[in-house]
């Protein structure tokens, strides 16, 4: 089953990643090691820090089995 999480802010993205990590019973250290990022980075990401590095975010998302998908709202001009 494919799941989706609408994330329109750094805080929403961080919360979604934290929820997924905990669902899999992984620690921040587990995910950070597997993604090749520091625990501090993962903590900042899950806390919604808006200036995290995109490439590292993508690494964390991949470790959790996800992918980022952009959806464009058709009502924007």
72 part of a folded domain: no
Domain residues for the domain of 28 are: 10-63
The H or E element spanning position 50 is none
1 part of a folded domain: no
69 part of a folded domain: no
* Domain CATH number, residue 18: 1.10.260.40
Question: What is residue 4's predicted lDDT score, i.e. its pLDDT?
Answer: 77
* Predicted confidence (pLDDT) per residue in 17-62, tens digit: 999 999 999 999 999 999 999 999 999 999 999 999 999 999 999 9
38 part of a folded domain: yes
5 part of a folded domain: no
43 part of a folded domain: yes
Count of CB atoms within 10 A of residue 60's CB? 23
18 part of a folded domain: yes
75 part of a folded domain: no
Q: 3-state DSSP helix/strand/coil percent for the chain, to nearest 5?
A: 55, 0, 45
Instruction: Please give the tally of structural domains in the chain.
Output: 1
């Amino acid at each position: 089953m494919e799941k989706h999480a609408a994330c329109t802010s750094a805080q929403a993205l961080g919360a979604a990643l934290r929820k997924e990590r905990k669902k899999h019973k992984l620690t921040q250290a587990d995910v950070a090691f597997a993604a090749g990022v520091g625990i501090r980075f993962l903590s900042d990401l899950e806390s919604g820090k808006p200036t995290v590095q995109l490439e590292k975010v993508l690494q964390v998302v991949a470790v959790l089995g996800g992918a980022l998908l952009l959806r464009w709202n058709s009502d924007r001009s």
